[in-house]
Amino acid sequence: MKQYLLSIYQPDGTPEPEVLARVMADLDTLNQEMQAAGAWVFAGGLHPPSTATVLRATDDEVLVIDGPFVESKEFLGGFTVIQAADLDEALEWGRRLAAVLKPLAVEVRPFQ
């Protein structure tokens, strides 16, 4: 079994509360389905990039910088780690996730 990172990319701004509530409920159902299938490893949503802090080591100290690391119109909003036999199986879960999060993009990337 390989492991895959399903990253969720979203634009700046907060969605309508009722939209968010529906998406979170659908997401919960999908996570349960992934668990039942033995595919689910870990999942989590992130606070917005404005809450991020970046650390970078120089020769003699570690600099602390107000984040995020990359300023961008779209950012990583959350992720799910799954295990799957191959990319087709991973893409099938990714497809389901993208359908729940429509119109957000989901990136599927293998772990080493």
| Contact status: 88 vs other proteins (CB under 8 A) | yes
**Cβ(12)–Cβ(104) under 8 Å?**
no
C-beta closer to other proteins: residue 22 or 109: 109
Closer to other proteins at the Cβ: 2 or 78?
2
Give the one residue of 24, 64, 87, 105 binding other proteins; rule: CB under 8 A. 87
Identify whether the C-beta of residue 107 lies closer than 8 Å to the C-beta of residue 6: yes
Locate 47 and state its tokens: 């606070």
| Closest distance to other proteins from the beta carbon of 87 (Å) | 5
Interface region with other proteins, contact rule CB under 8 A, candidates 22-30, 44-52, 58-66, 78-86: 78-86
Q: Judging by beta carbons within 10 Å of its beta carbon (0-12, 13-18, 19+), is residue 94 exposed, middle or buried?
A: buried
User: x-or-dash pattern for other proteins, window 1-40, by CB under 8 A?
Assistant: -x--------------------------------------
Angle at 80 between CA 12 and CA 41, to 5 degrees: 160
Rounded Cα distance, 76 and 9, in Å: 5
Q: Which residues bind other proteins (CB under 8 A)?
A: 2, 84-88, 90-91, 108-110, 112
